Structure formats: structure tokens, C-alpha cells
Amino acid sequence: MSPYALKLLTNHALPRGDVTAGYMSVDTERLRPVMETIAGRLTALCQPAPPAVPAAPVVPIVEPNIIPFARAKKRAAAR
């Protein structure tokens, strides 16, 4: 990746004393491969990482046949 292409894409000024900078073609089609490379890398970095450990299966909570303590106490007192 050319340092000149990076400077152009990041809106930096090209060095005035550099002779090569004067011959650079500022064409969108010339910068397209560099833009696609940068966009591809950013897209890859923004993807969520796969989980390190597979998630445990979800077990539904089924309400057990338990009598609440207050009701159980009333039943015992009524006997």
C-alpha cells in the first residue's frame, strides 16, 4: 500500500518538497483497490469473535409441585 495513497485517503497534505508527490495521479479508480483493502480489513475487525466455549443448552424452567411454606403451615395447623 502506497504511503501516498494512504495520505490521500486520510485527507493529509502531500509533502511539498517531494518530487514524486507531484506526479501522483489522484484518480478514484487508482485509489479503489486501496480503499477496498482498508474496508475489508475494517469489516473483518468489526465482526464479533466466535464464542470460546459453546453455549450450554437452554433448559426450560418447569415449576415443580411444591407447596409454598405458608400454605403448608396452614395445612399442618388444620390437621
User: pLDDT for 23-73, tens place per residue?
Assistant: 766 778 888 888 899 899 999 999 988 778 877 888 877 766 665 666 666
Name the amino acid, one letter, at 61: I
Q: Please state whether the predicted TM-score (pTM) of the whole model is above 0.75.
A: no
Best CA proximity match to 26, nearest among 45, 9, 48, 50? 9
Please, where are the H alpha helices in the chain? 3-9, 19-22, 28-46, 69-78
Residue 55 DSSP one-character state: P
Residue 69: the pLDDT is: 64
